[in-house]
């Protein structure tokens, strides 16, 4: 009997596991990383498999002539995408932050495969628009995969740039001295060396203690660090000071932009690079943009702006509270991730994309710094050097290490090169990739689900005198993000919300502080179309009152229009009230 029970339990577990799989028409594997062409191929395969929900658009051309591709996921059967709230999701503006692109393609793969099967996802795709750019920096990703790099190089775009001011572009980058396809550390012989080869693992260096021995002498190693692999290609006495590119596209957006003498890598002027210009132009044509998520790596952070302390005022208290609630939810969904403000908790950033989205477009925008090495030991602590050595050996079988090799260097003579490859840091190991992608995707879907969702809460009509009616209306927002952020309202970004009554002659109208208020300040012009500069606050409501002329039973139409939310409409007869029952105005489900 016990054996039968065990078999039954295993069968049930298998069924539950199978039910959680996404029946995608496109077989994508998320335990590996692919290059620029691979990402583009995945985008086209998904669009071809789901033409009713997805399309690929070319939004521009990169510095080296590669297409800038975007995916749009929306259901045209549930309305025009311009009338729905949209979320922008991008990755790999810093090309070495490779899992950012996979997180965006995972998003597309999951949304499309789960549509019609997973009710929560189906509802999101039906009511929202997803604007996805997996590769903001296609040139950088291409070279990171094709050429020798470190985990930290190819961050830049690849437009030739004179980093060292000698009048020549990109003439002295790193050199792969041992031909292993990676740029690793270089060690020169030194009788007073700071390091020695680890006797337990000769492919690792260990620091020699600088503290004196009991007799006053001190120990020296045989090797000292000489930087990353490279030679002085331009004869200026320096190595690796002018490699490909050398600027930072995530310092090239308009809000808070500063010139190169203040913000290194900022470029000549805002949006001077074709990639940043393409993204900005594409988004500026989408006034329904209500949320944004930019993926980077690394460190396990959920970041919001501002990037500099003097821009704190650009995040009014109402918006800051919305950010805090979304970030706190993310911290609960993403182990060891921390909610942070960029300039307070990380460093100063001028001209960042997420700052422009928030400050320039008035959009609730976040950056996730993907992956934290606190996940390695699963205890919330960064691994020690010894824990890391053992983890790499036992879990990864030293696949992310290049063996130490002696090579000849024109300046240093015999040098050792080797150590961590470009896959050795900043990214999860293959067997942990999909969980990292899914958790961040799930959090971003929570962010998307918090885009404004409006409904009429009540509409009451009361006859004040023969043929003159008081119509009192409340509109509720069941989500956290307002239909117009305080930043957008303060700066006049986009249009005011409008609550309109048609079908009867409106002689006066105005907003109410509360639905039960007896007086209101009438709007001077067009009293039938009341403007709400602050929109409908998150998880709150607005109220208004119209004085309208008409016979009892006259059908009037109430319509609330918002750029960042779907417009809503309600018909009610003078002399009636809505809702007739509590079920008619039930709020939409929130997670």
Task: Walk me through the domains of the chain, giving residue ranges and CATH numbers.
Answer: 26-144+247-371+429-449 (3.40.630.10), 161-243+383-420 (no CATH), 454-585 (2.60.40.10)
pLDDT at site 4: 38
Classified as helix, coil or strand, 555 is strand
Please state the rounded mean pLDDT for residues 152-181. Answer: 96
| Better-scored residue on pLDDT, 191 or 580 | 191
Residues whose CB is less than 8 angstroms from the CB of residue 115 and which lie 6 or more positions away in sequence, other chains included: 50, 53, 75, 121, 122, 125
pLDDT at site 20: 64
Is pLDDT of 3 > 80? no
d(CA 532, CA 510): 10
Q: Mapped to the 3 state alphabet, what secondary structure does 21-72 carry?
A: CCCCCCCCCCCCCCCHHHHHHHHHHHHHHCCCCEEEEEEEECCCCCEEEEEE
Is pLDDT of 5 > 50? no
- In the β-sheet with 338-341, what is the strand arrangement from edge to edge? 54-61, 67-73, 129-133, 86-91, 289-297, 364-370, 301-304, 338-341
Backbone angles phi, psi at 150, to 5 degrees: -100, 175
pLDDT at site 585: 62
* 427-441 residue pLDDT tens: 999 999 999 999 999
Angle at 328 between CA 322 and CA 334, to 5 degrees: 135
Is pLDDT of 10 > 50? no
pTM of the model: 0.94
Is pLDDT of 199 > 60? yes
Is pLDDT of 582 > 80? no
Angle at 530 between CA 284 and CA 291, to 5 degrees: 30
Is pLDDT of 2 > 50? no
Q: Do strands 129-133 and 86-91 pair parallel, antiparallel, or not at all (unpaired)?
A: parallel
Q: Do strands 401-409 and 413-420 pair parallel, antiparallel, or not at all (unpaired)?
A: antiparallel
Q: Are 172 and 232 in contact (CB under 8 A)?
A: yes
Of the pLDDT bands very low, low, confident and very high (cuts 50, 70, 90), residue 185 is very high
Please state the rounded mean pLDDT for residues 172-187. Answer: 98
Residues whose CB is less than 8 angstroms from the CB of residue 569 and which lie 6 or more positions away in sequence, other chains included: 557, 558, 559, 560
* 376-428 residue pLDDT tens: 999 999 999 999 999 999 999 999 999 999 999 999 999 999 999 999 999 99
The terminus-to-terminus CA distance of the chain in angstroms comes to 41
Classified as helix, coil or strand, 419 is strand
Single out the residue of 250, 262, 267, 344 nearest to residue 306, CA to CA: 344
* 11-66 residue pLDDT tens: 434 434 434 688 899 999 999 999 999 999 999 999 999 999 999 999 999 999 99
Is pLDDT of 497 > 80? yes
Is pLDDT of 473 > 80? yes
Q: Are 549 and 507 in contact (CB under 8 A)?
A: yes
Please state the rounded mean pLDDT for residues 493-520. Answer: 97
28 CA to centre of own chain: 21
Return the percentage of the chain with pLDDT > 70, whole number: 95
Of the pLDDT bands very low, low, confident and very high (cuts 50, 70, 90), residue 588 is low
d(CA 4, CA 95): 53
Please state the rounded mean pLDDT for residues 276-280. Answer: 99
Mean pLDDT of the chain: 95
The sign of the torsion formed by the CA atoms of 135, 140, 144, 147 equals positive
d(CA 162, CA 158): 12
Question: HSE (CB half, 13 Å, CA atoms) of 576?
Answer: 13
Q: Are 473 and 558 in contact (CB under 8 A)?
A: yes
Strand partners, 512: 543
Single out the residue of 290, 353, 338, 324 nearest to residue 91, CA to CA: 353
Is pLDDT of 591 > 60? no
Angle at 489 between CA 314 and CA 81, to 5 degrees: 110
Please state the rounded mean pLDDT for residues 563-583. Answer: 92
* 82-139 residue pLDDT tens: 999 999 999 999 999 999 999 999 999 999 999 999 999 999 999 999 999 999 999 9
């Amino acid at each position: 009997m016990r054996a039968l029970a065990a078999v039954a339990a295993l069968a049930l577990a298998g069924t539950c596991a199978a039910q959680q799989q996404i029946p995608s028409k496109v077989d994508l594997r998320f335990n590996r990383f692919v290059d620029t062409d691979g990402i583009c191929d995945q985008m086209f395969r998904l669009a071809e498999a789901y033409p009713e929900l997805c399309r690929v658009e070319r939004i521009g051309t990169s510095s080296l002539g590669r297409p800038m591709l975007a995916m749009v996921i929306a259901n045209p059967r549930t309305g025009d995408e311009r009338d729905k709230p949209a979320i922008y999701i991008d990755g790999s503006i810093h090309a070495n932050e490779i899992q950012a692109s996979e997180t965006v393609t995972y998003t597309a793969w999951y949304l499309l495969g789960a549509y019609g099967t997973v009710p929560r996802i189906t509802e999101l795709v039906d009511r929202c628009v997803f604007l996805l750019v997996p590769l903001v920096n296609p040139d950088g990703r291409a070279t990171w995969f094709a050429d020798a790099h470190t985990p930290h190089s190819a961050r830049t775009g690849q437009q030739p740039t004179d980093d060292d001011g000698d009048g020549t572009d990109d003439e002295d980058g790193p050199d792969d001295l041992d031909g292993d396809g990676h740029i690793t550390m270089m060690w020169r012989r030194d009788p007073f060396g700071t390091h020695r080869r680890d006797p337990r693992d000769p492919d690792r260096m260990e620091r020699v203690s600088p503290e004196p021995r009991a007799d006053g002498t001190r120990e020296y190693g045989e090797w000292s660090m000489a930087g990353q692999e490279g030679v002085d290609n331009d004869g200026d006495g320096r190595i690796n000071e002018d490699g490909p590119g050398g600027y930072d596209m995530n310092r090239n957006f308009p809000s808070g932009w500063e010139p190169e003498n203040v913000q290194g890598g900022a470029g000549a002027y805002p949006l001077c690079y074709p990639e940043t210009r393409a993204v900005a132009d594409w988004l500026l044509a989408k006034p329904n943009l209500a949320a944004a998520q930019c993926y980077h790596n690394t460190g396990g952070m959920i970041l919001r702006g501002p990037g500099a302390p003097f821009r704190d005022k650009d995040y009014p208290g109402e918006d800051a509270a919305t950010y805090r609630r979304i970030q706190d939810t993310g911290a609960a969904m993403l182990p060891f991730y921390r909610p942070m403000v960029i300039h307070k908790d990380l460093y100063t950033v001028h001209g960042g994309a997420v700052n422009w989205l928030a400050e320039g477009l008035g959009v609730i925008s976040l950056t996730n710094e993907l992956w934290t090495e606190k996940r390695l030991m699963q205890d919330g602590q960064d691994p020690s050097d010894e824990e890391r050595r053992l983890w790499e050996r036992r879990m990864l079988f030293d696949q992310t290490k290049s063996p130490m090799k002696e090579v000849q260097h024109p300046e240093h003579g015999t040098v050792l090169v080797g150590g961590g490859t470009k896959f050795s840091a900043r990214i999860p190991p293959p067997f942990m990739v999909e969980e990292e992608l899914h958790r961040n995707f799930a959090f971003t879907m929570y962010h998307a689900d918090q885009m404004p969702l409006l409904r009429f809460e009540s509409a009451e009509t009361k006859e004040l005198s023969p043929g003159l009616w008081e119509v009192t209306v409340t509109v509720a927002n069941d989500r956290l993000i307002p239909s117009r952020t305080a930043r957008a309202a303060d700066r006049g970004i986009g249009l005011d919300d409008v609550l309109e009554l048609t079908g009867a002659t409106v002689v006066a109208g105005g907003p109410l502080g509360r639905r039960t208020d007896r007086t209101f300040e009438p709007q001077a012009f067009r009293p039938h179309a009341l403007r709400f500069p602050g929109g409908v606050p998150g998880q709150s409501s607005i109220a208004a009152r119209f004085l309208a002329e008409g016979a009892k039973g006259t059908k009037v139409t109430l319509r609330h229009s918002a750029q960042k939310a779907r417009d809503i409409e309600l018909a009610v007869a003078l002399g009636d009230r809505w809702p007739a029952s509590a079920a008619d105005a039930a709020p939409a489900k929130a997670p």
